[in-house]
Structure 1
């Protein structure tokens, strides 16, 4: 596969993920966040395992790693995916995307606390800068939104960002031993179990005469966000390296904001633009030295 093809696939993935901040809202009008996520994972997880088997010729995980895999699955799938859907239900796609974009900051904080990385003034400065940007975004008062829902959605969004931030710290030992795709496929399968148990009574009594928009939101989430997105993402990781692939994540909030403004006619406030820019400056400060070091290591 040529380099430009991989780059195009990765760009398509982050745009798809950005659009999901708006499309996902249609899915939680009739369904709860847990029900929506349960249906999505129960369908996507077996397909991901099948794709992993086709690509890697194996989906085996050692018994000694099952405990960690369960924890990773609960945090990265059961908890984060449900919190993500709750976030986009209560607040604008713009604010939700900028909140979730804080997750690398939490990754850095947890990695420092768990001594997986060394402390540096630059990382501290970057983290504080990103939080200032987030504060500017969250202080925006949208007259079209109910204040109680905004506060609830913001709190849930922060929890989602924290859970997504701690996920790679917990998953790191597994990803170093297995492929990221295999870990993700099994995480989706295991994470779907508690989701099904929590929503089984609703799912069994659920009328499948749902609105077309609900079905389209589910279909988009299963086929494009989960299956195509994750497979293409990890092909990128395999072909051009994690560092070069992760850079594309910064496009996701931009795609989310633009699509929400065009499709859902969300008003983008100047304060949100300033806050989002400050968040990205903070992320750059946190990640810059690591990116330079990893890029040099890849060329050695």
Structure 2
């Protein structure tokens, strides 16, 4: 059990690092091109792992599922996150991302037709209030309009991830999580590559030694490494008990943002972030979610 918990914690730390690297890579690569590079590398690694496990990627059999998952979880979520990190701090983005369990709650009854307990919805409302305060905290600081855009982009990223997670659970009867992730990564990379056409200026690419290291990190540790750690941890601990550990993601992101990027947050932002996390914890721990959904704990998170 302790080994499993350790793996879950490691996974959240690795995902939090993606937000930090996203800030470093902002001046080096356009967000769409960054996402394309990241998932092109990750796709090769994931398919390689499938090959080592003597599994094939059913591209033609599950192409519809892969397209949907690739668009929502790999292209939309990751691209929106990287776009947001060009406008707001990693700490701010991490705090708002605490609302991801709430997004999962929102889509669960719609797509999976599963009932969500009252306590879970109470947690959702609390988190929404916290996100509103996070928005207000930045606006009161006299930030540029780009700050509001960045906040909205993170919220949209959370919704994209909630949709991806719930759909991933729906498709889990057709393939295991590694196969679904590899297929989503493949098609998500294609979507990202298409989005680069006519939008990426070669002169906007400024890779440094640090940028290359960050790109290597997000393509391996933050994607494949975290995926493996999380899924092994879930198998040891159990899906239901694993879900709350996702709430560590915003905590690590803030810690790393403060220590590595010297970021600052207003008092109101701290209050809003704390309330958002508390709401998410209530929704994922106290909330009476049906045994089948478990807040999508058995689905991987791509940071």
**TM-score between the two structures when normalised by the length of structure 2:** 0.86
How does 1:1-300 map onto structure 2 within 5 Å?
3-55=1-53, 57-61=54-58, 63-114=60-111, 116-141=113-138, 146-199=143-196, 210-287=207-284, 288-290=286-288
Deviation at 1:194?
1.8
1:102/1:262 CA distance change after superposition, 3 Å:
same
1:256/1:8 CA distance change after superposition, 3 Å:
same
- Distance in 2 between residues matched to 1:258 and 1:270, nearest whole Å: 16
Deviation at 1:6?
3.2
- Say whether the 8 Å CA contact 1:78–1:192 is kept in structure 2: yes
- Say whether the 8 Å CA contact 2:9–2:245 is kept in structure 1: yes
Return 244-253 or 161-170, whichever deviates more. Answer: 244-253
Deviation at 1:286?
2.3
- Structure 1 segments (4+ residues) deviating >6 Å: 142-145, 201-204, 206-209
Deviation at 1:205?
5.1
* Gapped regions of structure 2 (runs ≥ 5): 295-303
Q: Deviations over 1:175-231 (max 9, x none)?
A: 233211211111111111121223256779579872222212211111210121112
1:126/1:214 CA distance change after superposition, 3 Å:
same
Q: Deviations over 1:34-84 (max 9, x none)?
A: 0000011111101111113324x2134385532122111111111111001
Counterpart in the other structure of 1:298: none
- Say whether the 8 Å CA contact 2:134–2:269 is kept in structure 1: yes
1:203/1:5 CA distance change after superposition, 3 Å:
farther
- Say whether the 8 Å CA contact 2:108–2:114 is kept in structure 1: yes
1:200/1:239 CA distance change after superposition, 3 Å:
farther
1:281/1:60 CA distance change after superposition, 3 Å:
same
- Distance in 2 between residues matched to 1:291 and 1:276, nearest whole Å: 24
- Distance in 2 between residues matched to 1:292 and 1:110, nearest whole Å: 14
Return 215-224 or 234-243, whichever deviates more. Answer: 234-243
Deviation at 1:240?
2.7
1:204/1:155 CA distance change after superposition, 3 Å:
closer
Q: Deviations over 1:257-297 (max 9, x none)?
A: 111111111123332332222222322332224479579xx
Aligned CA-pair RMSD: 2.6
SS at match of 1:61: coil
- Distance in 2 between residues matched to 1:215 and 1:132, nearest whole Å: 38
Specify which structure has the higher proportion of helix: 1
Deviation at 1:142?
7.1
- Distance in 2 between residues matched to 1:143 and 1:129, nearest whole Å: 21
Q: Deviations over 1:103-140 (max 9, x none)?
A: 21111112223362225432332221110111111211
- Say whether the 8 Å CA contact 1:95–1:138 is kept in structure 2: no
